Structure 1
Amino acid sequence: MRSIKAIIFDFDGLLMDTETTLLECWRYEWRQYGLELDPTTFFADHGGDVSAEHYRRLAEAVGPDFDLELSRTRRLAYRDELHAGLGLREGIEHWLTEARDSGLSCAVASSSPRSWVTGLLGGVDRLDPFTTLAFGDEVPEHKPAPDVYLLALDRLGLDPSEAVAVEDSPHGVAAAKAAGLACIAIPHPHVDPARFPHADLLLRSAADLTLPAALARLAAQRRELTTPEG
């Protein structure tokens, strides 16, 4: 590996656990009709907004009396209540500090739109650590396509070998790898860690290792893969 100059973070589920708040606000809305949401089919295997599909399923379950505007207003109000108490995921604050102290740039590469990411990060006063931002509404294809990572690399002015991605989902890892990046996976709470065979390093939490230790372990593992047997 070349000397690492930047860490590129996913946003949803990685920097902030918006995957849990997303699930909970939809679960809340299903329960308004005496129904239970099936979490095993809830999360998509791609980035981007799938609200229309979720509403289609809910409307189908409720029947002809379903009021889309009422449902949307109520669900979003509850989601905003959940977000009011949401901070960075465990260990992420330390990684951002360690990146700064190590002279590494921090970037975000998210399939979500700019307003979503900047609104939530700005709400916890954590936009400043990121020198580069790339969003799903700026690229043709969402993850697992590599587009948003390629945009982030272009804005950083770096080769893929000079950056490391950090992801929480299998399709995010696929996007990072397709862009040529080494990838650390920190699965969000609603995905099976066994679904990350292509991650270069798998952690339960950013609190498991310091960022320098994680990068050192990543480098050691990649050296093992490229060192010819004697």
Structure 2
Amino acid sequence: MAGMAPGIEALVFDFDGLLMHTETTHLDSWRTEWAYHGLALDESTFFADHGGDTSEQHYAALAAAVGSGFDRPASHARRIAYRDTLHEGLDLAPGVRDWFAAAAGLGLRLAVASSSPRAWVEDHLTRVGELGRFEARAFGDEVAGHKPDPAVYLLALRRLDLPPGRVVAFEDTAHGVAAAKAAGLRCVAIPNPYTDPTAFSAADVVLRAATDLPLPELLARL
């Protein structure tokens, strides 16, 4: 591991918006459902400043905009069917597989720590053939608090049986970075397109994409 920051033994990745661009398909499914009703989604307030499922808030906003004729079950079925077609062609973010291969060559262990439920993350990773890379996994349906609460990172650390100083987190949102730092991890940020790029001052390194740096060079900066 020459050239790397000393003591790094594992990498922990967020999922949505970081490993896979599911934030984009999520937004697109809601934008399309609003358009179905002849309405425009306010994208400026769409994404929350915390992890976890915000579907109920989105359906409440759509129901209020549509009025008394809103059919929630039909809307949900239509949106999910469209989202699932988008996911059929969704792969890992560019550069991520190169990082995985480099991590294997360096003897680094991999984990995932997501505010999303286990089934959501594992189904996606299974579909693209990458679930087996992650020896430790921690999910939002296993902890009481969502990011920026550090609970899911603390769970990942317990499952890795490593102290935070030996682990590096990878995040795409400011609240994800806050969760990682609160758990004591160094953190690399790759802001997703729907976040304020100036809100990542707490991250140790900020990249535009995983293709910006080879993993060994990135870790040497930490």
TM-score range, shorter chain: over 0.9
**1:138-149 equivalences in 2 (<5 Å):** 138-149=142-153
Answer yes or no: is the 8 Å Cα contact 1:17–1:89 preserved in 2: yes
96, 100, 103: which one pairs with 2:104? 100
C-alpha distance in 1 between matches for 2:152 and 2:104 = 23
SS at 1:128's partner residue?
helix
SS at 1:148's partner residue?
helix
Answer yes or no: is the 8 Å Cα contact 1:106–1:131 preserved in 2: yes
SS at 2:219's partner residue?
helix
56, 62, 77: which one pairs with 1:58? 62
Residues 170-191 of structure 1: CA deviation (Å, up to 9, x unaligned): 1000000000000000111221
C-alpha distance in 2 between matches for 1:39 and 1:212 = 37
TM-score (structure 1 length as normaliser): 0.93
Answer yes or no: is the 8 Å Cα contact 1:2–1:161 preserved in 2: no
C-alpha RMSD of matched pairs (Å)? 0.8
Identity of aligned residues (%): 59
**1:1-230 equivalences in 2 (<5 Å):** 2-218=6-222
Residues 93-126 of structure 1: CA deviation (Å, up to 9, x unaligned): 1001110110000000000000000001111111
Runs of 4+ aligned structure 1 residues displaced above 3 Å come to: none
> Gapped runs of 5+ residues in structure 1?
219-230
Residues 65-86 of structure 1: CA deviation (Å, up to 9, x unaligned): 0000000000000000100010
Give the deviation of 1:2 after TM superposition: 4.5
TM-score (structure 2 length as normaliser): 0.97
User: Which residue of structure 2 lines up, in the alignment, with residue 221 of structure 1?
Assistant: none
C-alpha distance in 1 between matches for 2:95 and 2:193 = 15
C-alpha distance in 1 between matches for 2:216 and 2:6 = 15
